A and B are shown apart, each in its own frame.
Chain A
Amino acid sequence: MKRFGGGLSKNNAPRIISAASQNITFNRRSLLIGGAQGAIGLLLAGRMAYIAVAENERYQTLSESNRVNLTLVPPRRGWIIDRNGKPIASNRADFRVDVIPDRLLDQDRTLDELALLLNLPDGELARIRSELKQARGFQPVEIASGLRWEDYAAVSVRLPDLPGVAPIQGFSRQYPIGAAVGHLVGYVGTASAEEYDAEPNPLLITPGFKIGKDGLEKQFEQELRGEPGARRVEVTARGRVVRDLDKRDDVPGDPVKLTIDSDLQHYAARRLGEESGSVIVMDCRNGDILCLASMPSFDPNSFSDGIGFDEYAMLREDDHVPLRNKSLLGLYPPGSTIKPMNCLAFLQAGIDPEETISCGGGTRVGNRFFRCHSNHGTVNMDKAIAQSCDTYFYKMAQRVGMDRVAAMMRDHGLGEEYDLPVPNQFYGTVPDPVWLERKYDRKWTRADTANSSIGQGYVLTNPLQLAVMTARIASGQKLVPNLLVSSRRKPLTAMQVDPEHLQVVRAGMRNVVHGAGTARRARLPVENVELAGKTGTAQVVSLSRGDGRNVPWKFRDHGLFVCFAPYDNPRYACSVVIEHGGGSGAAYPVARDVMTFLYDRQRALADLEAMEAQWGGTIEQRAARKFAAFQARNAGTAADSDDGTDETG
C-alpha cells in the first residue's frame, strides 16, 4: 500500500494510528475549525461595527440622498398682456406626460404603451422619436400635454411598469388669439442641448420647463421666467414619488405689457383672410404699436406643445411662408406709398405745389422712356399724389436730385433699425449715389433717380417702416415705434419739415380717398372721420412678364396702402402690405376695415364674419382643414413611395 506521510515525516518512527490518536487528531482539528469559524464570526462583528459606527455618517448621507429627491418646480411664466391688460400669452393648468430618455429601459415598448394609453397619432410619434434621438439623456421629451384627467391618471397608475415616464401636473402656455400673434410673441419650448450649454441652469432641464424660442417670449425670457419652486420628495429606486417632504413655492415671472391692442390685432389677422400680408397700426400721438399682424402665421399654441412633424412640414412648404414675420422681416419695394414723402423733399427744395407738369403716359429720362400707368395730362402736386402720377415724380426727382429725396426718406424712418424688443428686423434700403458706389461699384444715373422716385428699383422697406413714415407725416413728430408700455417713451421731437408742406401733402393724401384719387372706396363708413392715404403697387417682376395681375400668384404685384385718420386730427396711422395681391386694390379694403374697427367694432366684425363665411371659416377652422388635406395628400404619396424603391429616413 502506498503511504503518505509515514516515510517522509520528520520523526522517522512509523506512525501508529490508534483510536485514541485519531480522537486527538479529531479534537485538535475540530478546535482549529471551530476557532477559525469563531475568528470569522469576530471578523464579521468587527466589520459590521466598522460599517455601522465608523462609516455611519457617510452611509447615512448616501442613504438620505438615495431617499430624498430634490426637484425643481418650474415657475409659472409671466403673462404677456395687451395695453388694456388682456392676456396675449397666459398659463393654464395642464396635465402632461414627459419621458426622460436616460431612464427609459425599453424605448419602443414604452412608446407603444403610451401611444395606446394616450391615443397618440402617428405624426406625434414621429416627432417624439426624432426628439428622442436628438435629446441628451437628461432632457425630458414631451409626449403629450393638455391631457384629460382620465388619461393622465391612466398613465400615472402604470408608472411602475413604465420607467422613464414622468406625468406632470403643471402649467402650459396659452395664447388666446393663437395664430394672430404667432410672429409677434413667438412661442416656448423645451430648452435644446445648445441652450442648456449656453446657460447650464438645472431649471432648463426640469421636466415641464419651457423657455421662449422666438419673438417676445425669447426677448423677455429673463423677465417672464420667474423663480422656480422646489420640492423635496421621497422616491423609490425606480423614481416613483412616495410622499412630499417639504415644498417652496415658485415665484411667477413678471408680466410684460405691450402697446398692442389685442382685439385690434386679432381683427387685423382675421381680416387678412387668405392673403399673405401684414397690417400695422400705430398711435400717431406717441408711436405706440397697436397692431403688428402678419399672416399667415403659425399657432403658437401648437408650437409650444411640441409641434407635430406633419404640421411643421406643412408650414415649411407653404408658399405663403407662415414661418416668416412679414411685418419686420418682409422687405418690399414701397411703390407709390412713398410719393407723399417725396413731395416733402420737393417742397423743401423749393418746388411750388401748384407748379404743373404734363403727363403723356410717361417721360424720357436719358435714353430710356419711363412709363406712367395712365395719361394724366396736366398734373400738380395734389393731383400727383391723389392719382399717383409717376411722370410728376420722374421729373421732379430729377430736378431736386436723389440726395435730397434719400435724406427725406431717412428722416421718415426708412432704412432705419428701430429699438424694439424683437429678435430680428430687416431694415431695407434707402439708395443714394454713395450707397450704390459702395454696394455695386457703379455710378448713380438719372434712371436710378426715376426708379427710386416711385418706390421701385433699389428702394426696399418693411411694413413697419411704412407705418412709421405715415405716422410721421400725419403727426409732424419724429415718432419712434414702441412695443412696450413699461418702457420710458422717448420725448417727441418735431420733424424738420415746414408744417405748411405737411399740410399740402396731407391734403393730397386726403384726396386719394375723398377726392378724385385712387382709393375712393377706402372711405370709412364712420361719420366725421376722414381717411387720408396712399396706394402703392410694387412690381414683383418686370412688366414684360405681364401686367402683374393675370399671372401665377407668386409673380403678381404686391399691393400696398398707407393711411391715417382722422384727417383733421390724426390719431391712427396704418400700413397694409398684401404680398402678390395684384395691386393696391388688395390692400386698401383691409386698411379701411381695420380703421373702421377702431371706431365701430360691431360693424367691422359683422362685415368680417360675412367675409369669413366665404373664405371657409375662422383662421383656426381654415388651418385645421388645410392640415387635414395636407395629411391626406401626404398619406397618399407615402403609400405610393412604399411600392417603389426603398425609403429614405
Chain B
Amino acid sequence: MDISIIPQPIRAQPWGIILLLVVLSGFGFAILYSAAGGSVSPWAGLHAARFTVFLIMALVISYMPESLFRFSALPVYVILLLMLLGVEILGQVRGGSQRWLELGFMRIQPSELMKPGIVLVTARFYATLPRGMIRGWAAIWPLLVMMGLPAALVLLQPDLGTTLTICIGAVTVAFLAGLPMRLFVGASAAAAVAIPLAYLFLLEPYQQRRVSTFLNPENDPLGSGYHITQSKIAIGSGGIDGKGFLQGSQSHLDYLPEGHTDFVFATMAEEWGLIGGLAVIFAYFLLLRWGWRLSFNAPNRFTKLLAGGLTMTIFLYAAINMMMVMGLAPVVGIPLPFLSHGGSSMMTVMICIGMLMAIDRQLRQRPGTSTFS
C-alpha cells in the first residue's frame, strides 16, 4: 500500500478528526478576522496560535495510556477542587467574584477544567463500582458528593452555565453507568419543582433578569434583552447565503455585543447565512458522532463512560451556546468551541478531545476498527 511510505508516527495520527478541527477552527479564524473589521489582530491571530498549541497538547494527551487517566482521576479531581476553593477564597479577599487563578504565565479557570475533571472522576468511580451495587445507595451518594462540591463552589462564583455543565456531565456518566431509570425520572420531576424555587432564592438578581428576559426579550430591549434581540437580528438578516464575508453590519457596527466570544455564531450567521450555520452544526454532528462511536467501541467500561461523558461535555458547549444565540436558552456565558475567541474554554475542549483521541488510538491499535469516517 502507498500508505506504507508515510512514516508510522504520522500515519498513526487520527487525521480525520484533526482535519475536522482544523477546518472548524479555520472557519473560526475567518469569522474573528471579519469581526475585527478585516484584521488578524486582536482576535484571529491569537485564536490560530492557541489552536495550534492546544492541538499539540491534545496529541500529547492522546499518547497517554489509559491507566494514567484511571489513576490520576481522583488526584486531579481533588486538585481542581482545591483550586476552586482557592478561587473562592481569593474572591472573598479581593471583594467580588473571581473565576480564575493567576499563575504568572497564564490564567487558569479551574471551573472550566472541572468539566472534563468531573467526567473523569465519575467514570472512574462507576467503572470500579462492583456491578451489583449499581442499583444501590452506594452508587448514588458518592455521585452527589463528587458533583455537589464543585457545583456549589462554581455556583458561588457565580457561574450558572458552568455549574449546569458540570452537573450534566456527572449525571450523564451516572446515567450511562446504569443507575435506575426512575431516579432520573424522579429527579426531573423534582427539578421541575425546584427550578422555580432556585430561580427565586438561589440566583443573583442579574441571573434572574437573564432568565426573565429570555422568556420575554421584548420587555427589556435596551438592557439584558438587547443581546438576544441583536443576535436574532444578525442571524435573521443573514438569510440563506448571508451578507457575505466582511459585510456583516450588525457585528461591524457594534450592534451585536460580544460578537467575537459568546455571540460568535451570530457574527458568522450574518455573513455566511443559513448555509454557514448548517455547516457548523454539521461539523459538530461529525465530532459528536466520532465521540459516540468511540464510546460504543471502547474496550472497557471506564473508557466507554469517559468517552460518553466527554462527548456530552463538548455537546453542552455547542448546544447551549447555539440555543442561547438563537433565543432558545437564557444568556449564560458559554462559548462556542473552536469558533469563539477565548483560551480557557478552548483548552478544556482540547483536553476532552485529547482524551477521546487517546481512546481512539487505543482502539485503532486493534486491527479492523474504524473510528472516524
Seen from chain A, the residues whose Cβ lies within 8 Å of a Cβ on chain B are: 1-6, 15, 17-19, 22, 25-27, 29-30, 33-34, 37-38, 40-41, 43-45, 47-49, 51-53, 55-56, 58-60, 62-64, 66-67, 234-238, 242
Contacts and interface: CB of A to CB of B under 8 A. Distances in A.
A235 B328 CA distance: 29
Contacts of B288: 34, 37
A626 B134 CA distance: 97
Contacts of A17: 131-132, 134-135, 178
Interface stretch (B99-107, B188-196, B230-238, B337-345): B230-238
A66 B136 contact: no
Interface stretch (B25-33, B72-80, B250-258, B349-357): B250-258
A2 B137 CA distance: 7
A521 to B, nearest CB: 75
13 contacts: A22-B131, A26-B176, A30-B295, A33-B312, A44-B323, A52-B236, A52-B240, A53-B239, A63-B236, A63-B250, A66-B249, A67-B250, A234-B253
Contacts of A242: 253
B240 A6 contact: no
B217 interface: no
Given A40-B319, A235-B253, A59 B178 contact: no
B187 interface: no
Contacts of A47: 326, 328
B214 interface: no
Nearest to B249: A67
Contact of B238 (A26, A52, A58): A52
Nearest to A45: B281
Interface stretch (B41-49, B197-205, B272-280, B361-369): B272-280
B133 interface: yes
Contact of A48 (B233, B255, B277): B277
Contacts of A19: 131
Contact of A63 (B183, B233, B254, B281): B233
Given A17-B131, A237-B254, A5 B319 contact: no
Contact of B239 (A27, A56, A234): A56
Nearest to A19: B131
Nearest to B184: A29
Contact of B135 (A15, A59, A238): A15
Given A22-B131, A67-B250, 4 more contacts: A38-B285, A48-B235, A52-B277, A53-B274
A134 B223 CA distance: 26
B304 interface: yes
B225 interface: no
A44 B285 CA distance: 12
B281 A18 contact: no
Contacts of B278: 45, 48-49
The 3 closest A-B pairs by CB, nearest first: A59-B236, A63-B237, A237-B254
Interface string B228-272: 001011111111100000000110011100000000000001100
A53 B239 CA distance: 6
Interface of B: 131-138, 172, 175-178, 180, 182-183, 230, 232-240, 249-250, 253-255, 269-270, 273-274, 277-278, 281, 284-285, 288, 292, 295-296, 301, 304-305, 308, 312, 315, 319, 322-323, 326, 328
Per DSSP, chain B at the interface is: helix
A33 B136 contact: no
Nearest to A242: B253
A41 B253 CA distance: 30
Nearest to A49: B274
Nearest to B179: A4
Given A30-B176, A49-B274, A60 B237 contact: yes
A50 to B, nearest CB: 9
B136 A48 contact: no
B239 A52 contact: yes
A41 B285 contact: yes
Given A17-B132, A45-B278, A52-B269, A59 B176 contact: no
Given A17-B134, A55-B236, A238 B292 contact: no
A60 B135 contact: no
A19 B134 CA distance: 12
A48 B327 CA distance: 10
A552 to B, nearest CB: 62
A48 B269 contact: yes
A197 to B, nearest CB: 25
Contacts of B295: 30
Contacts of A4: 135-137, 180, 182-183
Considering residues B172, B233, B292, B305, which has the most beta carbons from chain A within 10 angstroms of its beta carbon?
B233
B178 A25 contact: yes
A62 B312 CA distance: 36
Considering residues A4, A38, A40, which has the most beta carbons from chain B within 10 angstroms of its beta carbon?
A4
B233 A66 contact: yes
A24 B172 CA distance: 16
A386 to B, nearest CB: 80
A26 B301 CA distance: 9
Given A41-B285, A235-B253, A63 B178 contact: no
Given A5-B135, A18-B131, A51-B236, A41 B281 contact: yes
Nearest to A34: B292
Nearest to B289: A34
A131 B74 CA distance: 67
B180 to A, nearest CB: 5
A29 B233 contact: no
A3 B139 CA distance: 10
A410 to B, nearest CB: 66
Contacts of A22: 131, 134, 178, 301
Contacts of B178: 17, 22, 25-26, 29
B322 A44 contact: yes
A58 B237 CA distance: 8
A38 B285 CA distance: 8
A26 B182 CA distance: 16
Contacts of A48: 235, 269, 274, 277-278, 281, 326
Contacts of B319: 37, 40-41, 44
Considering residues B182, B253, B277, B315, which has the most beta carbons from chain A within 10 angstroms of its beta carbon?
B253
B233 A62 contact: yes
Contacts of B308: 26, 30, 33
B15 to A, nearest CB: 24
A64 B135 CA distance: 59
A70 to B, nearest CB: 16
B296 A27 contact: yes
Contacts of B292: 30, 34
A399 to B, nearest CB: 84
Contact of B255 (A33, A38, A66): A66
Nearest to B328: A47
A63 B138 contact: no
Given A5-B135, A19-B131, A66-B253, A59 B232 contact: yes
A3 B131 contact: no
Contacts of A1: 133, 136-138
B235 A52 contact: yes
Contacts of A6: 135
A404 B183 CA distance: 115
A237 B236 contact: no
B134 A56 contact: no
Contacts of A56: 236-237, 239-240
Contacts of B177: 26
A26 to B, nearest CB: 6
A431 B249 CA distance: 75
Contacts of B238: 52
A51 B277 CA distance: 11
A18 B301 CA distance: 13
Nearest to B235: A51
Contacts of A40: 319, 323
Contacts of A18: 131
A382 to B, nearest CB: 84
Nearest to B172: A33
A63 B234 contact: yes
